[in-house]
Amino acid sequence: MSAFDKELSPRKKQILKAVVEAHIAAGEPVGSRFLVQSNLLSCSSATIRNEMAELEEMGYLEQPHTSAGRIPSELGYRFYVDSLLQHYAMTSKEIDQINSLLKVKMGEIDKILKVASKVASNITNYTGIAIKPRQSLVKVLKYEIVGIDERQFAIVMILSTGAIKTKKVKLQLGIDDMTLGRLSAALNSYLTGLCANEITLSSVMSLERAMGDDSLLVNATVKAIYEVIGETDGGELHYSGLNHLLQYPEYSDVNKFGEIINTFEEKNEILDLVSGGYDNDINVLIGSESSVNVMKDSAIVFKQIKKDGKTIGAIGVVGPRRMDYARVLATLNELSENISDLIEDKRLLTENGGEASAGRD
């Protein structure tokens, strides 16, 4: 039960639910006359007007401009999602689209999530997203330096994820094998077992002192290490059906829609959001509840995909605040169950076999 339940009478809940669902369907402010004429409520127009006025005073409804009708506020949507939402019964066509995932012979989580985001977009008529979250705790467990020529060497790094990464470093001056050996030993002494944010100025200075006259090597070496950890930590975002948003008046402003596009292309804000510790079964972030700056008129709904208790990805939907939450939640739940079945059937061969890059279909 929501913490706000005690504030609303059964009639207020009924009216709020009717207003939210009417606004979701039409996108226009909802008036008492409409609710009476549509037979959604059994009380008089005057009673509905009074209740809507009280709901506005309580912060659940808003009156845009001088319109006689009202629209749900962010709080109204939140109450609706938490307390009033009814189960959405998916159609056989929608179920068939989702079940098609099981027929696709794919062994990589990235490819499966891409297909899932496209299916979610097609069913909900919003933008679907597939995410490989950031891995903020990636550490380098061991370093090895391999000389390539007198002005170039490679750093081989064994990461806490089990991956082995190699990064080339080019130098202005020549370097011998003995110096490379000292560098390898110093890296293993001072920089092993550290996340990117734990490689501090103090640890870099210790590394420089250990290298003595060859301390100029440290800057290029640490930069290369940061780049590798950054690439591994960075996460990936794929989106489908961005054009669906154009049919909603919330995205009719060209400049605002351009900002939405840039947010998807740059991906960092959305990746930060999904990687930010949310661990609910399914996450619904409405307007300002999201940390994504340009999403104040939008909602982001996403569900994490787990394997052996570890989050390996997420699927979600982005749309206007007045999105059809019941349909979106049902779609994401059904998709995640299908993906989980793929994992349990051991048809998912690898967690990192593909590369999900920011892009669009």
User: What pLDDT, on the 0 to 100 scale, is given for residue 121?
Assistant: 97
Strand 236-240 to 283-286 pairing: unpaired
The two domains 92-134+235-344 and 140-233 share their CATH topology (first three levels equal): no
Structure confidence by residue, pLDDT tens digits, 315-338: 999 999 999 999 999 999 999 998
Determine the Cα–Cα distance for residues 242 and 239; give it in Å rounded to an integer: 7
Spatial neighbors of 207 by CB under 8 A, at least 6 apart, are 186, 187, 190, 191, 218, 222
Q: Inter-axis angle of helices 10-26 and 45-57, to 10 degrees? A: 90
At residue 142, φ and ψ (nearest 5 deg) are -155, 140
Q: State the fold for domain 92-134+235-344.
A: Beta-Lactamase (3.30.450)
pLDDT in tens, 106-126: 667 778 889 999 999 999 999
Element housing 209 (H / E) = helix 201-211
| pLDDT classification of 169: cutoffs 50, 70, 90 | very high
DSSP 27-48: -S-B-HHHHHHTTS-SS-HHHH
For the segment 213-235, what is each residue's pLDDT rounded down to a tens digit?
888 889 899 989 988 887 776 67
Q: pTM, whole model, 2 decimals?
A: 0.72
State whether CATH 3.30.390.10 applies to domain 140-233: yes
The string of DSSP codes covering 256-314 is: HHHHHHHHHHH-HHHHHHHTSS--SSSEEEEGGGSS-GGGTTEEEEEEEEEETTEEEEE
Q: What is the pLDDT of residue 226?
A: 84
> In the β-sheet with 127-132, what is the strand arrangement from edge to edge?
236-240, 127-132, 310-320, 298-307, 283-286
* Residue 100: pLDDT band with limits 50, 70, 90: confident
Q: For the residues 88-116, what does the mean pLDDT come to?
A: 83
Q: Which of 183-197, 261-275, 316-330 has the highest mean pLDDT?
A: 316-330
- Alpha carbons 338 and 332: distance in angstroms, whole number: 10
Domain boundaries, the chain: 7-84, 92-134+235-344, 140-233
Name residues whose C-beta falls within 8 Å of residue 241's C-beta, 6 or more positions apart in sequence.
118, 121, 122, 125, 126, 127, 128, 361
Topology classification of domain 7-84? Arc Repressor Mutant, subunit A (1.10.10)
Report the pLDDT value the prediction gives residue 272, as an integer from 0 to 100.
79
Residue 70 backbone zone (phi > 0: left; psi -120 to 50: alpha; other: beta): beta
DSSP letter (8 states) at residue 108: B
